Structures are given as C-alpha cells and as structure tokens.
Structure 1
Amino acid sequence: MSAVTPREREIIGWMAAGKTAAEIGAILGISPITVNTHIANAKAKLGVFKETALVAAALRNGIIR
C-alpha cells in the first residue's frame, strides 16, 4: 500500500466533512476533475472502490482524524 500524498489526505478530509468534488475544488482552487483524480488515486492506494470506503479506510489507518 503506497502512502497517500498530502493533497490526497487534504481532499479525503474535506470528503469526510461532506464536501463534493466541486466544493473541494472551489476550496482548494483546483478543478473538480483534478479532485476526482486525487480521489481515484487514493482509492487505488488504499484498495477501496467507493468514496465512503475511502473515508472509512483513511480513518481506520490514521490518515485523517
């Protein structure tokens, strides 16, 4: 399992707060497509297929609080 990047960690944190890709993109000043790319990369690294599973895995592994 590869380590998630700081940007992926930041995006997962916003996902956990209930933000959409469009909202996260606006907050971070990046496009929603870029947000979705980071999400897809993080899901691959953590071996999950759904966004809710990504947040759960990040919490379980101490990636976010």
Structure 2
Amino acid sequence: MKVPAIYLTPREKEVVKWVADGKTGPEMATILDLSEHTIRSHIESAKRKFDAMNTPHLVALAFRGKIIE
C-alpha cells in the first residue's frame, strides 16, 4: 500500500517521532516545553492529514510514508 505524500509541519513531525519513541503527552509537553493541549492538537492535526484511525495508525503511516525513521 502506497502512502500519499503528506505535508506535516516540523512540529507535527517532531511530535509524531516522539509518539513513535513511546513518549506520553505529558512527557512530550515537558521535552518540547509545550502544553499537553498543544501536543494533542499536533497529534490530531497529523491524524487528520493522514486520515489515520488512531495514533498507532498515524505512526505506522508516518513510517510507511518515510515521514519519520
């Protein structure tokens, strides 16, 4: 299955990478000095762009699309 080219902002990419590394929302908020609400917003935005059903699906599609390594 080929993943269409999707543009994520640099911050969305960063958050998806941290999700793939197993970090929680509160951990990412601390690491990136953002609120948990902002972290959730970046994840939700990336999920919409990928049309992902859930966060694990987002991570799989991001790997498949070579958005993250």
State the TM-score, normalizing by the size of structure 2. 0.90
Number of equivalences: 65
State the TM-score, normalizing by the size of structure 1. 0.95
The 4+ residue runs of structure 1 with deviation greater than 6 A are none
CA distance in 1, matches of 2:9, 2:53: 18
Which structure has the greater CA radius of gyration?
2
Summarize the alignment of residues 33-48 of structure 1 with structure 2, pairs less than 5 Å apart.
33-48=37-52
Structure 1 unaligned segments of length 5 or more: list them: none
Identity value in percent? 42
CA distance in 2, matches of 1:41, 1:49: 12
